[in-house]
Structure 1
């Protein structure tokens, strides 16, 4: 079922249009994951003598790049599902925002090729392209939620201050990836890649802070309903 308000269509959650949209988006994420394997070049027969020669043939870098990007795209897909779970409907603007977001996701296999190629391992530009790709993809996916909230399709929206806290939490990833760019030029690409590992520590810490802050905001909104409306 779809409705129109002021010329803008709104497709309800139980409509065919809603289902088709997110089935398509899920398929694109799956394709992006699958394309990562294209960056893995089969080693020459001589490299298969033992594990050491196999990994030193360049396969080690390629598998590392595959693993990192597979995890990154999987996180994007899970984040998209969490966002969509809160949608009661979808609008053309929300569909467009999703298309912009997945445009940067499907670029990840391309940017992965640079950071996973042993011959390019010392080139700072490969880190720059990859870090920018991931950072813009994160920001584009965040924009999906804010467009949906603007269009009024988010069910049971949190106070706006809580959404701001969530956005700050989301910024952790682009901040770390963007910080790796100057590090790549000043200290080398290996140190830049090590910087990405900081997300393993910083991500959960900022996430726990965000959860506590959001819980406090929700509690304050529940005890003062008028303040929730103001937020």
Structure 2
């Protein structure tokens, strides 16, 4: 029986995973902080109760894109975190390259709540939509780069399906390109946030096609 692989100090996947979990949890919580709150005069006053409720409903429905951005950002962070969590369970150690790939990933994670807040301030501003879409694209690209680094450094546990990880990395790249295209499209047309609802379809179709070729 061979000796277990020695892991350099600071390169255990457990500690890295714990730190990443904390960053994702904080970022996902901060998303709700960026949702616009109604002014105090809108929820309180001397008007009849039904009038106040109608005014509050108008405010909430008028900011539907803020809620859409919140839900999309939360689900994307959740999905990337779940994939990251699963991936680290498949490795024996973290290489310097893999550690370096975490830097852009976590930078985008902590910036995503700010990008979501920009949507809440002005969804009609193409730059706000562009920043959000570009941030999501960068997050997906960073996750794909992390997976490719893991494959390149040969740190997977014996028996791990490397082909499936390659499919996942390719799918993330395609999804990132989709978001990047919407970032550019927002300068030409309105209503781009509605296209974001197609992101899961793009991911599923891409994954199936890559899996069929693998």
TM tier, smaller? 0.7 to 0.9
Aligned to 1:72: 76
C-alpha RMSD over aligned residues: 2.6
SS in 1 for 2:6: strand
The answer as to whether partners of 1:64 and 1:116 remain within 8 angstroms in 2 is no
Judged with a 3 Å threshold, the aligned counterparts in structure 2 of structure 1 residues 82 and 55 are, in CA distance, closer, same or farther, namely farther
TM-score normalised to structure 1 length? 0.75
The answer as to whether partners of 2:115 and 2:128 remain within 8 angstroms in 1 is yes
The answer as to whether partners of 2:98 and 2:149 remain within 8 angstroms in 1 is yes
The answer as to whether partners of 1:124 and 1:184 remain within 8 angstroms in 2 is yes
Structure with greater proportional strand content: 1
SS in 2 for 1:197: helix
Distance, in Å, in 1 between the alignment partners of 2:31 and 2:58 is: 18
1:147 and 2:144 correspond? no
The answer as to whether partners of 2:13 and 2:91 remain within 8 angstroms in 1 is no
CA displacement, residues 25-72 of structure 1 (integer Å, 9 cap, x when unaligned): 100000000111221233124433225633425553432222121111
SS in 2 for 1:204: helix
Judged with a 3 Å threshold, the aligned counterparts in structure 2 of structure 1 residues 28 and 2 are, in CA distance, closer, same or farther, namely farther
For 1:1-231, what aligned pairs fall within 5 Å after superposition? 3=6, 9=8, 17-48=12-43, 49-50=52-53, 53-56=56-59, 59-117=63-121, 120-155=122-157, 156=159, 158=161, 164-188=166-190, 190=191, 192-214=192-214
Distance, in Å, in 2 between the alignment partners of 1:121 and 1:90 is: 40
Judged with a 3 Å threshold, the aligned counterparts in structure 2 of structure 1 residues 68 and 87 are, in CA distance, closer, same or farther, namely same
Residue ranges of structure 2 left out of the alignment (5+ in a row): 44-51
The answer as to whether partners of 2:137 and 2:180 remain within 8 angstroms in 1 is yes
Cα distance, 1:159 vs structure 2: 5.8
Cα distance, 1:201 vs structure 2: 2.4
Distance, in Å, in 1 between the alignment partners of 2:206 and 2:109 is: 24
Distance, in Å, in 2 between the alignment partners of 1:33 and 1:145 is: 22
TM-score normalised to structure 2 length? 0.81
Residue ranges of structure 1 left out of the alignment (5+ in a row): 215-231
Distance, in Å, in 2 between the alignment partners of 1:153 and 1:59 is: 46
